[in-house]
Each structure stands twice: as structure tokens, then as C-alpha cells.
Chain A
Amino acid sequence: MKDVREALMVGRNTEGKLIRRPLSPFMIGSAYKPQLSSMTSIFHRITGVALGAGAVLLTLWLVSAASGDGPFSIVQAIFGSWIGLIILFGFTVALFYHFCNGIRHLAWDAGKGFDLPDMHRSGAYVIAATIILTVGFWAIALFLR
């Protein structure tokens, strides 16, 4: 053993056999069953990273608007195309999910909602709220403008 920290990587599985602990991100599926708790958690991270890409798109939009009519019309045309709208739809899902699940995380940080039934219920609320907010946003954006 070269690195003393390796000692912390040794654990026992449910059969009591000594194993090397699995390292993220390849745990769900091989070491753990997919569950609502792990899925809402990894989806929070995935949407967070996706929103990073969305922040780059917001930057592009603002910079093009500040640059002139030419660049702005190009960016607007890309966002308005069907592929652009699909990407923007994805970002609204990511934003509303990360927003709702973020509130769930803040409640946990305050020490609330840790009981398993509460956690499952709040997870279901997050998924429902994401769908409602996304559908509501696009209904307003597409039909009521």
C-alpha cells in the first residue's frame, strides 16, 4: 500500500467480504440500486452542470446583443430554430428541477425533512413541480405573448 489514504478505501460488503470501496461516479447500478433518493440527487448534479452550459448561452446572448444587430440576429435565429427551442426546453427543465430540488436541499441543510417518508414525498413534489413549472412556462411563452 503506497498511499495511507488507501486504507480508508477498504470496506466490507453486505456479505462481510473485504472489498475496495467503489468510487463515484460509477456507483449507481454496480454498488447501489437506483432509487428515488439517488436519482433525484444525481439529477440535481446533472442539471447543475447543464445549467453551466446554459449560463454560457446566456453570455452569448448578452454579448451578441451588446455587439450589434448582426450578431444578435444570428443568435436569435439559432435560439428560435427548432433545435434551439429543444435546447432551450431542456434548459427550462434543468432550471426548474434544480430550483425545486435546491429548495429541498436548503430544507435538509436546516435539518428538516430527513425522515424517509418525508424525503420520498418531497422528491415526488419536486418532480411534479418541475413538470408544472415547465409546462406553465412554455404555455405562457408560446401561446400568451
Chain B
Amino acid sequence: MSNDPAVHIMRSQLGRARGLGAAKSGLHHWWAQRITAIALLPLSLYFVISVIILDHATRQQVALYLGEPWNTVLYLSLIAAMFYHLVLGLQVVIEDYVHNETVKLATLLIVKGGVIFCALASAVSVLKLAL
């Protein structure tokens, strides 16, 4: 290795941590990821069953299925929990692997915007088919 690292900063761990700012919303992120995960346990099983039911369905049959109030609500719940869980997970992956601050911020904004767009498009489509 050409650049052998060495520590020559005479500071305590507390001194290093001071002034770096608050931990922000880490705890909320952790809880939200777990709660959406728990919600997705039954919702994803429901989704898998609905996929089998809707296998080879016509557009009219899909609309009829999603028009059942329980199916409308379950699909909207699935979309909310799934895309929320997805955006939290992708955020962690980006924060872990993208080390340049500018690129990280840009990637986070694009990915989060894209996920919110897909969530809205899915929810509006379900409502349009159902109502």
C-alpha cells in the first residue's frame, strides 16, 4: 500500500463527534422501516394471491376485482406500505455506497422523486379502475 494511513489527531471521540450536528431523523427512519415491514407481511401475501387470481384476467376483470371495496383498500394499503418501505431501503443503500456528497444528494432526490411518482401513478390507477 502506497498511502499507509496513520492517526495524528489528538482528539477524544467526544471531541470528534461534537459539532458534527444532530443525528437527524435516524430513529424515525428505523421505526418506519420496521412498521412498513410488518404491514407488508400480510399485504404481500395478499398481493401474491391476487396475482394468481388475476392471472390471465382481462382489463374488465381487473377493474371488477379492484372495484371490490376490500380489494381497493388492500391495494392502496399495499402501494402505501410498499413504496414507503422501498424509499427507506433505497435511501440506506444510496447512503452506504455513494460517498460524494453532491452525487449522493442528487441520487437521493432523483430516486425519492421517482418512487413517489410511481406510488402516485399506481394509487391513481387503482382508483381509476375501481371507481
Contact = CB atoms under 8 A, between A and B. Distances in A.
Interface of A: 1, 4-10, 18-20, 23-25, 45, 48-49, 51-52, 55-56, 58-59, 62-63, 65-66, 68-69, 72, 92, 95, 99, 102-103, 105-106, 109, 137, 140-141, 145
A59 B122 contact: yes
22 contacts: A4-B16, A7-B11, A10-B7, A18-B4, A18-B6, A19-B5, A45-B93, A49-B93, A52-B115, A65-B62, A65-B125, A66-B124, A66-B128, A92-B48, A95-B44, A99-B41, A106-B38, A109-B34, A140-B52, A141-B52, A141-B55, A145-B55
Contacts of A56: 118
A84 B11 CA distance: 57
Given A25-B97, A55-B83, A7 B9 contact: yes
A58 B122 contact: yes
B51 to A, nearest CB: 8
A140 to B, nearest CB: 6
User: Which secondary structure dominates where chain A touches chain B?
Assistant: helix
B5 A55 contact: no
B5 A18 contact: yes
Contacts of B86: 48, 51-52, 55
Interface of B: 1, 3-9, 11, 16, 34, 37-38, 40-41, 44, 48, 51-52, 55-56, 59, 62-63, 82-83, 86, 89-90, 93, 96-97, 99, 115, 118, 121-122, 124-126, 128-129
A102 B8 CA distance: 42
